[in-house]
Amino acid sequence: MADQHLSGVERILAPDAIVVSKTDTKGRITYANLTFLEIAGYTEKEVLGRPHNIVRHPDMPRTVFKLLWDTIEQRQEIFAYVINRAKNGDHYWVFAHVTPTFDAAGTITSFHSSRRCPQRKAVETVKSVYRELRDEEARHASPKDAVAAGIALLTNKFIGAGGSYEDLVFSL
Ligand SMILES: Cc1cc2nc3c(=O)[nH]c(=O)nc-3n(C[C@H](O)[C@H](O)[C@H](O)COP(=O)(O)O)c2cc1C
């Protein structure tokens, strides 16, 4: 990403707002609703065809995106807390629901995400979990090792053996 400037200013989604986007199977944006464009500060022209990491915020742990992609590619839905970066460097938290879309043969044809304003209390917890995950990831040189260590920390410290990221999400 060319411009990674962060303003430190948080944008808060309206309680009834739903931020929607769709991607192709590679994660390139094929649809963004007006609410998405408004909160992210982009025009439709600027986002269509672009990778969804256009709104990636550096506070997001790599581990969470690995879980997201593994889950949707395994044909499951996922709920996740995500901090995104607007075009001008502002940030906004969302509670996202991401799903695959299938054709009649059951092949994945695209992905869909709808997001709402998260509970403030949950965001505060998620912030500290994500901070620890990023610190752990930063101790490993290779992205693969970083994600493995992130998943181990998430499981051992925040979820418990046999649990999933979803258990954590719905416990907040
Ligand atoms: C439907 C869909 C919606 C996504 N929404 C976001 C999003 O809002 N913010 C984000 O940072 N990544 C989102 N992603 C994940 C990105 O594709 C990407 O994995 C992530 O930004 C990490 O990028 P990086 O691997 O370049 O660090 C979404 C992916 C899909 C399939």
Task: Using alpha carbons, list the distances in angstroms from residue 3 to 29, 46, 56.
Answer: 19, 14, 11
The percentage of residues in the chain with a pLDDT greater than 90, rounded to a whole number, is 87
- Average pLDDT on 117-132 reads 95
Q: Is 130 in the pocket of ligand 1 (CB under 6 A)?
A: no
- Assess contact for 29 and 46: CB atoms under 8 A: no
Torsion of CA 131, 172, 116, 85, to 10 degrees: 0
pLDDT in tens, 45-83: 999 999 999 999 999 999 999 999 999 999 999 999 999
* 1, pLDDT greater than 50: no
- Contacts with 161 (C-beta within 8 Å, 6 or more apart), sequence order: 155
pTM: 0.95
Q: Is 127 in the pocket of ligand 1 (CB under 6 A)?
A: no
Which atom of ligand 1 is closest in space to residue 94's alpha carbon?
A: 8
